[in-house]
Amino acid sequence: MLVHKSLLEPELFVMSASHKGRTDTDDDQKMAMLRKAFQMFDTTKSGYIDVLKISTILNTMGQLFDDSELQALIDENDPEGSGKINFDGFCNIASHFLEEEDAEAMQQELKEAFRLYDREGNGYITTSTLKEILAALDDKLSNADLDGIIAEIDTDGSGTVDFDEFMEMMTGD
């Protein structure tokens, strides 16, 4: 439902407009940070680090993680159980936890955007309100277009868009 996302972006993502533009830099910064951490712990410059050090690195970066989840990722990236992991493997593991945090931040932003339209705090936006928003954002949409979009968003046909439906519209999940 990317069309809806782009329709709503100008309004809903006002506060995160800079966030979008920052994404590439964020990835670069993330990679640089991971490389630095990896090199710091690869004391012999072998290109590998001890898997036992990964939890220490994650702690150092202030990342929260679940021990069993981490172990599962280590097993996945070190299938031979060598006890060592290269930079790529390390990135796979570390970015799993970093991305999880991003998803949470994304959900938080969507919650804030949702609240902007759910002014009365009902926990939903009426489809008529949403229709007005969509119409204001793109005046080329006909009434039939709008009805079609609304029908797709309000999947249970309740006449209201709750946060789950809203999130589905924005993220496509």
State the residues that interact with Ca ion by CB under 5 A. Answer: 154, 156, 158
The residue ranges of DSSP E strands in the chain, in sequence order, are 48-50, 84-86, 124-126, 160-162
How near is the Cβ of 153 to Ca ion at its closest, in Å? 8
Identity of the residue numbered 87: F
**Which of 43, 155 has the CB closer to Ca ion?**
155
Residue with nearest beta carbon to Ca ion: 158
CB 127 to Ca ion: min, Å: 8
Q: Which CB, 6 or 158, lies closer to Ca ion? A: 158
CA–CA dist 16, 18 (Å, integer): 5
- Which two three-digit tokens encode residue 113? 């955007």
CB-wise, 4 or 53, nearer to Ca ion?
4
Residue 163, both tokens: 């946060």
Give the residue with the Cβ less far from Ca ion, 60 or 158: 158
Asked if residues 93 and 73 have their Cβ atoms less than 8 Å apart, the reply is yes
Strands 48-50 and 84-86: antiparallel
> Could you give the count of Cα atoms lying within 13 Å of 29 in the half-sphere of its Cβ?
7
The least CB distance from residue 160 to Ca ion, in Å, is 5
